Every structure is written in structure tokens, then in C-alpha cells.
Amino acid sequence: MVMHLAPVGIIHCVSKSFATTSACSELKELVMQQPIGLLSDNLSWVQPLSRAMDAAGVPSRLIPFPQPPFTEFDGRAYPKVIFNRVATRTAMGSPGIVTLVRDLLSALQLQDKHIINNGHCHHVGSSKALQSLIFERAGVMSPKTLVLHDKAMLTTAREQMPDGMLKSNVGGFGAGVWAPGSPDQDVPPSILAAAFAADGMAVWQQRYIPRDNVIYRVELLGGEVLYRARVPVKPEGFNYCLGNAGSFSGPGTPPDDPVTLDHVPDTKLRSALAHICRLADMDVGSVEYLIPNGESEACFFDINPVSTYYPKAAALLGFDPYKKLAAWLKAIGQSN
């Protein structure tokens, strides 16, 4: 059962007297009693954030997705500020979910809700085709991308760009990703079906071999870098979700933690990442890139608005990224 909530107001403090300042602080705390909605299709994923928000005194309310049909939609039942944490790959097994979440976010925005990672951001995150255009507009290097809206188009795409790989247009968990071992190798039927399953589209994308056999995932908050993860390329599979710290350990990996973190010292790279975030309307999330063999320039290939922090990040960085996110959300809640 969802409650009807009053909209969050904005408190302006104009007097510098102690009494007024104290009263203003109390009013702001009252404002923060209005929870920030955490819209998610996997509530276990938002538990670390929910705990960090509780510790920071930021009330939250979990909003499970999918929601009831639009015939029952009532914008007043939703908080004023909503953090969209619906995974772009939620559509596995149900193609209509991709459209449903886009429509829900649009409906909430029509109700003047403040959506963190709004409808445009979610659309970009769930479309490799749009991501390629974002990278092009940002003026950064990215793989050449051919958009396929029919399985029959794959043959022509492979002839046009033999050194490519197949990806689902709606990325996530490495589903529907396939790199042929030879130019004449047939795509397995199960992979082909998975590539087109989410929204009826796939992409054939130029394939680069990463220099030093690593890819980079940069976590961003409000357009600023939180940290960068240096992730070893897996010998099999394409799932680089960092939510499970043990997923990058095993045979063939170094005895120490194979994932390393830093703060992206390169100013030019930071500027490019901030530009990508602005074009995608992404307040919170990650951008992935690699450096191709024989190159020195970053090649960007993924925008992920629903990224999960590396479980060992706090120990490796000296700060907890969830605490930083909670503090950022608190400021957003107080300004809306």
C-alpha cells in the first residue's frame, strides 16, 4: 500500500539571527522527513544505499517496480523526489517492461516529480544505439555501431564490418553479447535470440582488444568522479558487474584483488566524462571505456545509470561511496 504524500517544499532562510537560523534548520529537517523514493526492480540492490541514507538521517521509501497498471496511476502517491534505480536489463523475459519503465518515468515527470536519472537518462542507459550517438556528440572515441532492427540484418552488418561483435541494444549482465572466433562462425541461436529479446533491436559493434587486457569503469556522482575501477578482461563472458567482489577471482587471476581503484587523475578524461553525463542527463552512474591495443586514447563503450559500487570500495579508497551518495541525496531532498 502506498501513501499519499504532500510535496516537498523549499525553505528560504533570510534572517541571520540565531533563533531564526535554528528555526530554519528545524524546518529543513521537517522537509527531509518527506522520504526520497527509491524506484527499483531489485530491492536487495538498494539495501546498502538505504542503510547509508538511514545513517545520514535521510528518509527513504522503497518503490518496487513494476507498479500497478496505469489505470491506477496516481502521481500524488509518489514522493516529490524519486531516485530511479530500475536496471536497464529488467526486460529479460518481458519485452514490454522496457517500454513500461520509460512510460512510468515520463508520467512521473508530467506530475512535476524530481527524477534522479530521469526518463532520458534511462532511455540512454537502455539503448546502445543512443549511447553511440552520445559518445559521438561528446567528441570522444567509441566503437563504430550498426543498429539492427531485424535478425536478417546481421548478415549484411557482418559483411560490412567483419571485425565486429553482437550486442543487445538493451545491455546488462553480458546478455546477448557474442564475439565470433572466426569471420565465418555462425552465431548460436540462443545468443541471437537473447540479443534481440529485450526490445527487438541489437547492434553490431566494432571490436577492440583492450590494451593490458583491462577495461575501466568510472563511477560518477553529480558529474564528478567518485572513483575508477580497473577491471581485468574475463577469458569467457562479458558480465562486468562489480556488485559481486568474488566474480573477478579464480583461476588465472592474480592472488591479490584483481580489481584496483583510483581517482582518475587525467583532467582531459574527467572533462570528457562530465560531458557524457550532461548529454545523458545522468546524475548517478558509471561510464566504461577501454584503451585499444596500440592506442593511447580512451574508447568509450557503455553508459550505465544503475551501476553498483564495488563491495571493497570503502576499504580501498578510504571513503564509503554509499555515504557520499547519501549526503548528495540529502542535499537534493533539501533543495526540492
CATH code for the domain of 234: 3.30.470.20
Q: Are residues 135 and 273 in the same domain?
A: yes
| C-alpha dihedral, 153 to 200 to 288 to 316, nearest 10° | -140
Q: Where does a domain end: 206, 229, 250?
A: 206
Angle at 286 between CA 104 and CA 299, to 5 degrees: 120
Q: Which residue has the cell 554509499?
A: 322
Q: Are residues 30 and 80 in the same domain?
A: yes
Q: Are residues 49 and 22 in the same domain?
A: yes
Q: Are residues 132 and 254 in the same domain?
A: yes
Q: Are residues 55 and 112 in the same domain?
A: yes
- Least confident range of 44-53, 84-93, 198-207, 212-221: 84-93
Asked if residue 50 belongs to a domain, the reply is yes
State the SS3 of the chain.
CCCCCCCCCCCCCCCCCHHHHHHHHHHHHHHCCCCEEEEECCHHHHHHHHHHHHHCCCCEEEEECCCCCHHHCCHHHCCCEEEEECCCCCCCCCCHHHHHHHHHHHHHHHCCCEEECCHHHHHHHCCHHHHHHHHHHHCCECCCEEEECCCCHHHHHHHHCCCEEEEECCCCCCCCCECCCCCCCCCCHHHHHHHHHCCCCEEEEECCCEHHHEEEEEEEECCEEEEEEEEECCCCCCCCCCCCHHHHCCCCCCCCCCCEEECCCCHHHHHHHHHHHHHHCCCEEEEEEECECCCCCCEEEEEECCCCCCCCHHHHHCCCHHHHHHHHHHHHHHCC
Q: At what angle do helices 18-31 and 321-334 cross, to 10 degrees?
A: 110
Domain total of the chain:
3
Q: Are residues 24 and 66 in the same domain?
A: yes
HSE-CB of 332 using CA atoms within 13 angstroms: 25
- What cell does 69 get? 497498471
Asked if residue 5 belongs to a domain, the reply is no
Which residues constitute the domain of residue 195? Answer: 145-206
Q: Are residues 183 and 44 in the same domain?
A: no
Give the per-residue pLDDT at 70.
Answer: 62
Give the model's confidence band at 242: pLDDT under 50 very low, under 70 low, under 90 confident, else very high.
confident
Residue 19 has pLDDT above 50, yes or no: no
Give the per-residue pLDDT at 110.
Answer: 93
Give the per-residue pLDDT at 71.
Answer: 64
pLDDT top residue among 264 and 219: 219
Q: Calculate what percentage of the chain has a pLDDT beyond 90.
A: 64
Q: Are residues 159 and 214 in the same domain?
A: no
Give the model's confidence band at 207: pLDDT under 50 very low, under 70 low, under 90 confident, else very high.
very high
Q: Are residues 270 and 131 in the same domain?
A: yes
Give the model's confidence band at 243: pLDDT under 50 very low, under 70 low, under 90 confident, else very high.
low
69 class by beta-carbon count within 10 Å (0-12 exposed, 13-18 middle, 19+ buried): exposed
Residue 8 has pLDDT above 70, yes or no: no
Asked if residue 10 belongs to a domain, the reply is no
- Least confident range of 2-16, 89-103, 108-122, 200-214: 2-16
Asked if residue 34 belongs to a domain, the reply is yes
Q: Edge-to-edge strand order for the sheet containing 202-206?
A: 145-148, 202-206, 164-168
Give the model's confidence band at 134: pLDDT under 50 very low, under 70 low, under 90 confident, else very high.
very high
Q: Where does a domain end: 163, 188, 206?
A: 206
CA distances from 238 to 168, 190, 226, 243, 247 (A): 12, 16, 24, 14, 12
Residues in the chain: 336
Asked if residue 311 belongs to a domain, the reply is no
Q: Are residues 135 and 153 in the same domain?
A: no
- The residue type found at 309 is Y
Give the per-residue pLDDT at 33.
Answer: 65
Give the model's confidence band at 89: pLDDT under 50 very low, under 70 low, under 90 confident, else very high.
low
Q: Are residues 149 and 263 in the same domain?
A: no
Give the model's confidence band at 68: pLDDT under 50 very low, under 70 low, under 90 confident, else very high.
low
Give the per-residue pLDDT at 65.
Answer: 85
Q: Is 251 left (phi over 0), alpha (psi -120 to 50) or beta?
A: beta
Over residues 87-102, the mean pLDDT reads: 71
Give the per-residue pLDDT at 296.
Answer: 93
Q: Where does a domain end: 183, 206, 229?
A: 206
Residue 212 has pLDDT above 50, yes or no: yes
Q: Are residues 88 and 27 in the same domain?
A: yes
Using one digit for the tens of pLDDT, what is the confidence trace for 97-117?
788 888 899 999 999 999 999
Over residues 48-65, the mean pLDDT reads: 94
Using one digit for the tens of pLDDT, what is the confidence trace for 270-292?
999 999 999 999 999 999 999 99
Asked if residue 261 belongs to a domain, the reply is yes
Asked if residue 13 belongs to a domain, the reply is no
Asked if residue 23 belongs to a domain, the reply is yes
Of residues 145, 144, 166, 140, the one with CA closest to residue 154: 166
Give the model's confidence band at 14: pLDDT under 50 very low, under 70 low, under 90 confident, else very high.
very low
